[in-house]
Chain A
Amino acid sequence: MRDRIIFALQLLFTLIVAAFLAVPAALSIAAGVTVNYFRGIQSGVTLQWVAQVLDLYAGTIMASIAIALGTLLVTLVVGVPAAYALYVRGGRLARLVEEIITLPVAIPGLALALGLLLSYGGFGNFRRSWLFILAGHVIFTMPFMVRSVMAIFASIDVKSLDEGAASLGAAPWRRFVDVIVPNAAPGILAGSLMVVTLSLGEFNLTWMLHTPLTKTLPVGLADSYASMRLEVASAYTLIFFVMIIPLLVAMQWIGERGSAK
């Protein structure tokens, strides 16, 4: 009896997931390759919408990729050494800094963007440049990088490794390069994938920060939803899926490999 209730609940859950996640995703993908969505799939399958999107919005796609890679670079170069310093130093100051870095996770992207605009919106050149969006993305994604790296530090007892290398005469930078980074690689990789995924998909904050000349893919997507025919918007979504799904799969795969160890 109990088993059947559990089975029924599982089935219900699966159906809800299917109804609200899988079906909409599948439909919008289908719409992106349908000649005329209102006439249905029998109107024919085409890549013309995809081509049109690539033609119209190539800029936003390239911009998103560039911003994601830039964000990744900054979070790697700043976040990983910061996580190392925070972890090895320990103490109250380190915990405080960690809290501050983590804060953006809890703050809505809109509020974060408003804060940036209030503080730096007056710096016209900065405001108008891609760097403004990059800054927003870095703030938004940094906690995920730092957290992911700190988590692996805890699981590989990085403090001992660090002290071990120090006892053999290695200065902090040398220890970081020779011992810390190689052993933390899976966590750094997981953090990197997360940063790229989040940056590619970020909308709230970017929408507030963007100018007509600095649009990322999700902002362009919103544009197309508002002003283009449904098939174009769907094709755009399709392109987004094609970019993001491999990253999600890779993330899942790394996570599973990590927990299998």
Chain B
Amino acid sequence: MDRREGECEVTMMIRHGAALKVENCGKTFADGTCALARATLDIAQSETLVLLGPSGCGKTTLLRIVAGLEMPDAGGRVLFDGKDLTRQPIEKRNVGMVFQSYALFPNMTVAENIGYGLRIRGVSRLERAARVAELITLTNLGGLEHRRIDQLSGGQRQRVALARAVAIRPSVLLLDEPLTALDAALRERLRGELNGLLRTLGITAIYVTHDQAEAMELGDRIVVMRKGAIAQVGTPREIYFTPADRFVAEFVGAANIIEAPIESGDLILPGGRQPVGSTGSRARAVAMVRPETIRIVDADKASLTGIVDSIRFAGDRQRIIVRDAAAIPLALDVPHTIHVRAGERIGLSIAADSIRLLPAEG
């Protein structure tokens, strides 16, 4: 990667970093734990790819393989811009890494932490100071240059870790749950900042998280992982609206998963019939409906009805639980302008194209 290119004004939207290819990479640890089944992924230059999945599903392991901190099982390869770097240790890969624990150096000040990678690269003191100042501004750390790490708040540490990783103009920025250690309000704010920064830098990035809201906001594409395997790869919209299976549907956002037979294009439910937009019949189908896609209509005119079981206030909307419509209670998200009472019979309207049929398991 041409170092010169990085010299451009950081506020401009430029494509940076390498295109990555993870080829056939699996990981079985020495103790026999199979943390990652063989996986292949392409990451375009300047793309932010999010690895999303519950704790222990192998996200960190995959990230560490890309970083060069773990060796993939024999046969796996990691390519940066087509160059095979599988055998190169992390220090030869020019990656910027933000660790879950931040791994900041307690023996150095904020500025020294940020400038360390440049010092290693033999960048002159003057140039280093300029670059550090630039990053201090970019990450809102002004005034903290000479603080020690133990004098910083969690959010500030997170930003130092980010600035330190970005300072070296890495080929790829790797972030392992960078916001997980922070409290909810701060997390939300920093998520926005981080998103802006990733867009500004236009750098290839892999972002690990178990938080689907983070994944949705930050990812150009999301890789949903489950038990060491890739469950689905797609844009946030694809993942949300057309989940590949029940696991993805339930992990990303709220979902009603309805199991019922289909007769000539209609789901046959205890509370009536619901068209699914395809013809044919099946003895057993698994359908997913997002709570916000269900509308409440007049019970007399609806083909599907149910009884309001409970109403939960959720701030920006209300969640209504309806029983007797399907075999399971259905969750609906509706605006506050809709008024229903518990015990009331209501009609439900679901557009056929917002129903997603999932492969039946087992």
Report A148-173 residues with CB < 8 Å from chain B CB. Answer: 156-157, 160-161, 163-171
Q: How far, in Å, is A184 (CB) from chain B's closest CB?
A: 10
CA distance A169 to B99 in the complex (A): 15
**Chain A residues positioned under 8 Å from B105 (CB to CB):** 161, 164-165, 178-179, 183
* Per-position binary interface string of chain B over residues 91-128, scored 1 when its CB falls under 8 Å from any chain A CB and 0 otherwise: 11011110101111111000000001100110000000
Q: Which of B89, B90, B96 is packed against the most chain A CB atoms within 10 Å?
A: B90
**Chain B residues positioned under 8 Å from A166 (CB to CB):** 69, 89-91
Chain B: residues with Cβ within 8 Å of the partner, total of: 26
- Find out whether the CB atom of B107 lies under 8 angstroms from the CB atom of A183: yes
**Chain B residues positioned under 8 Å from A122 (CB to CB):** none
- Find out whether the CB atom of B67 lies under 8 angstroms from the CB atom of A169: no
- Find out whether the CB atom of A167 lies under 8 angstroms from the CB atom of B120: no
| A124: interface (CB < 8 Å) | no
Once A and B bind, how many residue pairs between them come within 8 Å at the CB atom?
A: 62
- Find out whether the CB atom of B164 lies under 8 angstroms from the CB atom of A91: no
Q: How far, in Å, is A57 (CB) from chain B's closest CB?
A: 43
CA distance A121 to B239 in the complex (A): 74
| B338: interface (CB < 8 Å) | no
- Find out whether the CB atom of B101 lies under 8 angstroms from the CB atom of A157: yes
Q: How far, in Å, is B116 (CB) from chain A's closest CB?
A: 5
Closest to A168 in B: B117
| B168: interface (CB < 8 Å) | yes
- Find out whether the CB atom of B95 lies under 8 angstroms from the CB atom of A167: yes
CA distance A92 to B29 in the complex (A): 13
Q: Which of A168, A170, A178 is packed against the most chain B CB atoms within 10 Å?
A: A168
**Known A156-B106, A163-B69: A169·B101 in contact at CB below 8 Å:** no
| A182: interface (CB < 8 Å) | yes
- Find out whether the CB atom of B30 lies under 8 angstroms from the CB atom of A169: no
- Find out whether the CB atom of B106 lies under 8 angstroms from the CB atom of A169: no
- Find out whether the CB atom of A168 lies under 8 angstroms from the CB atom of B67: no
Chain A: residues with Cβ within 8 Å of the partner, total of: 20
| A229: interface (CB < 8 Å) | no
* Per-position binary interface string of chain A over residues 220-254, scored 1 when its CB falls under 8 Å from any chain B CB and 0 otherwise: 00000000000000000000000000000000000
* Per-position binary interface string of chain B over residues 3-32, scored 1 when its CB falls under 8 Å from any chain A CB and 0 otherwise: 000000000000000000000000000100
CA distance A234 to B106 in the complex (A): 48
**Known A168-B168, A179-B107: A163·B90 in contact at CB below 8 Å:** yes
**Known A168-B168, A169-B91, A171-B91: A163·B103 in contact at CB below 8 Å:** yes
**Known A160-B99, A164-B97: A170·B91 in contact at CB below 8 Å:** yes
CA distance A15 to B162 in the complex (A): 59
**Chain B residues positioned under 8 Å from A164 (CB to CB):** 97, 99, 102-105
CA distance A207 to B50 in the complex (A): 66
Q: How far, in Å, is A1 (CB) from chain B's closest CB?
A: 47
| B276: interface (CB < 8 Å) | no
**Chain B residues positioned under 8 Å from A174 (CB to CB):** 120
- Find out whether the CB atom of B117 lies under 8 angstroms from the CB atom of A169: yes
Closest to A175 in B: B91
| B165: interface (CB < 8 Å) | yes
Report A5-44 residues with CB < 8 Å from chain B CB. Answer: none
**Known A91-B30, A182-B107: A163·B120 in contact at CB below 8 Å:** no
Q: How far, in Å, is A3 (CB) from chain B's closest CB?
A: 41
CA distance A165 to B120 in the complex (A): 9
- Find out whether the CB atom of B107 lies under 8 angstroms from the CB atom of A163: no
- Find out whether the CB atom of A169 lies under 8 angstroms from the CB atom of B94: yes
A-to-B contact residues, CB < 8 Å = 91-92, 156-157, 160-161, 163-171, 174, 178-179, 182-183
**Cross-chain pairs A/B with CB under 8 angstroms, 5 sampled:** A160-B103, A163-B99, A166-B90, A178-B116, A183-B106
B-to-A contact residues, CB < 8 Å = 30, 67, 69, 89-92, 94-97, 99, 101-107, 116-117, 120-121, 164-165, 168
Q: A157-B103, A163-B69, A167-B96 are known contacts; what are 7 more A-B pairs with Cβ within 8 Å?
A: A161-B103, A163-B99, A168-B164, A168-B168, A169-B94, A169-B121, A170-B91
